[in-house]
Amino acid sequence: MNRCRPRTLKATCVIALMAFIIIGYAQEKHFNTIEYNYPYWPEYKKTAVSEIYNPKWIAKDHTVEGWDWTLPKSVNPSEKSKLCIARNFGLSKNKIEELQEIHFSCNPVISHWVKWRELEPEEGEINFKPLIDNIKNAYQKGYESIVRIHFSAIDFAPDWIKKYNIPIRKEEKENPVKRNYEVSHPEFHKRYLNFVKALGESGLSKMEEVKGLFLGYASPSNGDEGIGPYPEKYANANDTIPHVRERIDAWANACSGVEHKVFMGGLSNYGLSKGFGIRRGFVEMYLYHIPDEHFGQELDANGYLIVDEANEIIKKNLFHGEENEEYEEKWATAERDFRFGINTEPYPYRYFTANLRLLQMRCNYLLNNEFSILPDMFTWVSLSLGKTVEDTPDAWCFLRESYLKGNEPRPVKNFERWVYQRDSPGYATKPVAKIHHPIKMWMVQPDRYYDYVARKGNKIGFDIDDDFLSTNIKFAVKISYLDVDNGNWSLVFQGEKGPEKKTIKNKNTGNIKTVTFFITANFENKTRPFDLEILGEGDFEPTISFLRIIKL
């Protein structure tokens, strides 16, 4: 026994040392190992969707600790919105039977991830009935459905396809586990088109319970990502490929009359011309796709992130999806390469910021977990998805700043949804409240792995989209501010008889607080430079993070 102990201890030390080296290498390569603080967000805690309720609306001026995501009880989700909070892999009924009851306002959907081999185990014998039964059963539970059939990988395609000797596709990034057939091969392509034709004939796409159908291609990741052989930045090139256009045509025929239900795994102008939408899937990296003309994301000369409302996807409110889902504890482990940091402490901040970014991008579909780590905010997101400037209950501006990679750091200022903060003479601000990134995001300037999450200034001006204001005169304005330093500041606006103001006093607690002011405003006849102004008393400079205006 004694002779065994040193050997065991030695082996244990070697294993521990190897683990330390591996983890240390991963952290050095990918992550900041310093544990940063995220003081303006609650600790990491998961709340099951069945335990989430819409927070109570308070119809009078008041101040709360933290953020405030409330909306009047009369606000309902858009018909365009789809909130995916469950996935069913395969044709099992277990997940359908376990679907959680929903108590907050949303349009819940379940995504059915099904393999081609499960629906056509023998060539020519295609059976959609088990999938249709699951769709109907989910609807009985209050969930509509997204259908995502996977084709390209060896473990997606049926075994009988092997007899056609289809070669394996060479991937840009090799994955020894997820290998794909060359989907452009005539034998594969022919049978793929036959299957899509059968899907159309089954009537599945026209089911009222079905709200979306995924059209992908092939990728080393799990899920037929993309739309053609070229990366998304070469979207026009994919439109020139005959077999890609034939795949798109097949889906358009199968979904004739409901083309708006189809969403692509990559960008194709040809697909957009059919009325298809698109799903990306990495909003957790909330600074990606900046700028990106394909999605209406532009940077102006001063670094403000603006939205091109004439963009095809946004203008037509096509199916426009994102995923904000990787918040389980496993993502902060060596097994997952510490994908989003060495612990879960930054998760609430990242979840918060990603939610705002997907709404800034005008998304109407969100794939989420079956839990939320900011449940009140989650209810607000569900009521915002799919809303346009004409029917949105609120508009907002998140006063933030980050720095993209370039020869010189490129500032990205603010996430905005129909409320615009701009510096001008007499209304200058500076970014403050530095929040460090838990990982080194590839698009960020290497020495600037942080965001500023507020702006400070003696005078801060906001303009509001005219189409949002319309003929409304009664509003609630919610302002999230950092209660730092001592001083008074006011919200100034054009009242019915002239400029009016609502004043609040900072108490220097260091906390984030949200004040709500109810106002009656006459924006058409304003006499001041901006629609809404925040003015410090004397030389006091308030620190503002978020401003939201709500129609009443």
pLDDT, mean of residues 284-299:
96
Region 208-215 average pLDDT: 98
**Residue 396's closest CA among 67, 77, 73?**
67
Residue 20 has pLDDT above 90, yes or no: no
> Which residue's entry shows tokens 């070229």?
230
Instruction: Give the chain's domain count.
Output: 2
Pairwise CA distance, residues 449 & 30, whole Å: 12
Ranked by mean pLDDT, which of 28-32, 90-94, 520-524 comes out on top?
A: 90-94
Query: Would you call 382 helix, strand, or coil by DSSP?
Result: helix
Mean pLDDT of 472-490: 97
User: Does residue 213 surpass a pLDDT of 80?
Assistant: yes
Q: Which residue has the higher pLDDT, 235 or 93?
A: 93
Q: Is the pLDDT of residue 23 over 60?
A: no
Indicate whether 428 belongs to any domain: yes
Answer whether residue 178 is part of any domain: yes
| pLDDT at residue 202, as a whole number | 98
Write down which residue in 368, 391, 414 finishes a domain.
391
The answer to whether residue 10 is domain-embedded is no
Q: What are phi and psi of 359, to 5 degrees?
A: -75, -35
* pLDDT tens string 241-270: 999 999 999 999 999 999 999 999 999 999
| Closest-CA residue to 69 (of 84, 53, 82) | 53
Residues 115 and 157 in one domain: yes
For the record, the structure tokens of 330 come out as 């496993």
Residue 474 confidence (pLDDT) above 60? yes
Ramachandran region, residue 359 (left: φ > 0; alpha: ψ -120 to 50; beta: rest):
alpha
pLDDT of residue 12: 39
Instruction: Give the residue with greater pLDDT, 7 vs 156.
Output: 156
Q: 173 lies in a domain? A: yes
DSSP state letters, 46-72: -EEGGG--PPPP--S-EEEES------
Kindly report the number of other CB atoms within 10 A of residue 445's CB atom. 16
Confidence of residue 34 (pLDDT cuts 50, 70, 90): low
pLDDT given for residue 21 in this prediction: 36
Sign of the dihedral through C-alpha 61, 65, 69, 71 = negative
User: pTM of this prediction?
Assistant: 0.93
Q: pLDDT exceeding 70 applies to what percent of the chain?
A: 93
Pairwise CA distance, residues 223 & 454, whole Å: 38
What are the b/e assignments for 479-509, b being 16+ CB within 10 Å?
A: bbbbbbeebebbbbbbeeeeebebebebeee
Within this chain, do residues 353 and 460 fall inside the same structural domain, yes or no? Answer: no
Predicted confidence at residue 330, as pLDDT, reads 96
In tens, the pLDDT along 150-207 reads 999 999 999 999 999 999 999 877 777 689 999 999 999 999 999 999 999 999 999 9
Regarding whether 405 and 342 lie in a shared domain, the answer is no
Tokens of residue 45, six digits: 């805690």
Is 300 within a domain? yes
If asked whether residues 189 and 328 sit together in one domain, one would say yes
Q: Are residues 403 and 283 in the same domain?
A: no
Rounded Cα distance, 118 and 157, in Å: 9
Angle, in degrees to the nearest 10, between helices 347-360 and 375-384: 10
Angstrom distances, CA of residue 173 to CA of 26, 54, 322: 19, 43, 23
CATH code of residue 418:
2.60.120
CA pair distance 419, 427, nearest whole angstrom: 16
- Residues 217, 292, single domain; the answer is yes
Distance CA 541, CA 548 (A): 20
How much is the pLDDT for 174? 77
Domain span at 150? 47-52+73-391
Residue keyed to tokens 């053609």: 228
Q: Which residues pair with 502 in a beta bridge?
A: 491
Are the C-beta atoms of residues 361 and 309 closer than 8 Å to each other?
A: no
- Give the model's pLDDT for residue 79: 97
3 state DSSP class of 107 = coil
Q: Could you give the CA distance from residue 87 to residue 99 in angstroms, rounded to a whole number? A: 10
Does residue 13 come out as left (phi exceeding 0), alpha (psi in the -120 to 50 range) or beta? alpha
pLDDT value, residue 17: 40
Residue 291 DSSP one-character state: S
Eight-state DSSP code of residue 229 = S
**Domain termination residue (choose one: 391, 418, 435):** 391
Helix or strand holding residue 235 (H, E): helix 235-238
The residue out of 348, 364, 391 marking a domain boundary is 391
Does residue 272 form part of some domain? Answer: yes
* Beta carbons within 10 angstroms of residue 39's beta carbon: 12
Residues 333 and 431 in one domain: no
Mapping DSSP to helix (H, G, I), strand (E, B) and coil, where does residue 391 land? Answer: coil
Residue 232's pLDDT band (cuts 50, 70, 90): confident
Q: Which residue has the higher pLDDT, 323 or 24?
A: 323
C-alpha separations of 101 from 134, 140, 372, 453 in Å: 17, 11, 15, 35
150: enclosing H helix or E strand? strand 144-150
The answer to the question of residue 61 being in a domain is: no
* Pairing mode, strands 297-299 and 305-307: antiparallel
Average pLDDT, the chain: 93
Q: Judge whether 299 lies within some domain.
A: yes
Give the residue carrying structure tokens 């509003």.
475
205 and 320 together in one domain: yes
Give residue-wise pLDDT tens across range 419-449: 999 999 999 999 999 999 999 999 999 999 9
Q: What is the CATH number of the domain that holds 148?
A: 3.20.20
456 and 382 co-located in one domain: no
Give CA separation, 544 vs 352, 394, 399, 536, in Å: 17, 18, 7, 11
459 and 357 inside one domain? no
**Strand 430-436 versus strand 486-494 pairing type:** unpaired
Same domain, 321 and 443: no
Does position 552 have pLDDT exceeding 90, yes or no?
yes
Cβ count near 461 (within 10 Å): 22
Q: What CA–CA distance (Å, rounded) separates 375 from 377?
A: 5
Q: How many CA atoms lie within 13 A of 77 on its CB side?
A: 20
Which secondary structure element, helix H or strand E, spans residue 137, and what is its range?
Answer: helix 129-140
pLDDT of residue 10: 41
Q: Which residues pair with 40 in a beta bridge?
A: none
pLDDT confidence of residue 221 = 86
Residues 328, 218 share a domain: yes
